[in-house]
Structure formats: C-alpha cells, structure tokens
Structure 1
Amino acid sequence: MKLDKVHNKSKRLRKKLYLGEFAVFGFEVTCKLKHVSDVEFDVFIDDIIDVIESRNLIGGGGGSLNDYSLFICGDGRYSSASESDRAYIKDWLEINACTNSIIIGDLVDAYYGVY
C-alpha cells in the first residue's frame, strides 16, 4: 500500500489501517550488557519491564547476557510512545549499572516502519 495516499481514504479506513491520525509510533532500543550473571540479567529484565509498564508502554524483544534489544510502543490500541518516553528510557538505561553502548532509535510507525 502506498502510504502517501493517506488523505484520499475515509476516516474509517484510516482508523482500520492505522494511518494518518491513527498511526501508532514506537522506537527500538539496543544495548550491550556488561558482564552480568544470570541473576543480574533476570533482575535487569524485571526492572526494564517495570519501567516500560510504568509509562503505559509495551515492549517486545529479547537477547542474551551480552546483547539486548526490544521495540517499545504504546500500550493502548491507538496509543504511541513519545519523545519523552524515549528520553526517559534512555536516561534509565544510562544510569543502570548493567548497560553500556546504548542505542535508542527514532520514533517510527509501528505498523509500516516509516517515519
């Protein structure tokens, strides 16, 4: 589907296809973990889930004891992550003792992968 033809679609169709004002945005997070034990890794996962859920966001992804990546977007049907959510997650990861080499992606359309 050509996304540049959004304006010629009805509101009902834009909503059904998550286009225009109904687009859902999210961002990718990638980080390397310092040498951590299995227990420290489990604590890190529990903590990042708590941080994500506290902002009414959801995340999907995973990784190993060395690398971890996930995609984060809004928890509601038409809710999106915001720039403040990106900044908050980035700040939290930077102060976390387990992480280094943090990459926070730009906000992108969660359904179509475009800006």
Structure 2
Amino acid sequence: MSESTANDPRLSRMKRRIRKKLYLGEFQELAFELKADFKESLEEEALEALLSDFVDYVESLNLDYMGGFGETWIEGTIMANKRYGSPTEEDRQALTDWLKARKEVATASASELYDAWHFED
C-alpha cells in the first residue's frame, strides 16, 4: 500500500481496484493550469510556430496540453501523457520558464498542482 493510502483511513479501507477506478491514493493524477499572454497580437504564421514549439516542448516532458489559444494568449491544463502519471513541480517550473523565455510572451504563470479528478472550483 502506498504512503498516501496508508495515511488516509478512508482510502486504506478501499480495495485497490476501487482506488484505481476512482484515481485515489497511489493512482491520483495531478495537473496544473498554464496561462500566457503575448506582447502583441501574433500573425497566423508566428502563432503556428509558437504553438508547434510549445507542443513539442510539452511532449518532450511526457506531458499533454489541453486548452485553447488566441492571437494574444494561450491557456490550458497540463497533465501527464500516460495514465496514473502526473507532472512534477519541476515540470511546472520548466514550462513556465520556457514560456517566459520566448520573445513573444509578455507574462506566463502556472497554478499549483492539483488533483485532476477530484477538485473544487
């Protein structure tokens, strides 16, 4: 039994199979929100180049991006690209730093890691 499951009496009473189906305990998946605003509106070609580089970088970290973009912004959720995986604090910082280093980006921020399946607004 994982450390997180052993410390939570509610989870320790659940069968492993149920914890897995509910993404709890050792099967918890984390995610974070990522947002960037551009210095100016990007033309289609520049936007496509930035997005292509961004997706390549996200995938190089074994992560997935689910979100949207516009001529002046990009915003979405980052999760692991495999089941029962999670991005790390280092991944969160690396993506924020990568965006901030781009000449097109004015500001970039990321939320704290949160439970991707059991969160409150």
Q: Common fold, TM-score beyond 0.5?
A: yes
Counterpart secondary structure, 1:113: coil
Gaps of 5+ in 1: none
TM-score by length of 2: 0.86
Corresponding position: 1:45 with 2:45: no
Matched, 1:5 2:33: no
Q: Give runs of ≥4 in structure 1 deviating > 6 Å.
A: none
Shift of 1:30: 0.7
**Helix, strand or coil for the counterpart of 2:68?**
strand
Tell me, yes or no, if the aligned pair for 2:39 and 2:106 is still in contact at 8 Å. Answer: yes
* Equivalence map 1:91-110=2 (5 Å): 91-110=97-116
RMSD: 1.7
Q: Aligned residue pairs: how many?
A: 112
Match of 1:14 in 2: 19
Which protein shows a greater Rg? 2
Task: Find the aligned partners of 1:100 and 1:8 in 2 and give their Cα distance.
Answer: 49
TM-score, with normalisation over the residues of structure 1?
Answer: 0.90
Give structure 2 stretches of 5+ with no counterpart. Answer: 1-8
Matched residue, 1:23: 28
Contact 2:100 2:107 in 1 (8 A): no
Q: Quick check: 2:35–2:76 contact (8 Å CA) kept in 1? A: yes
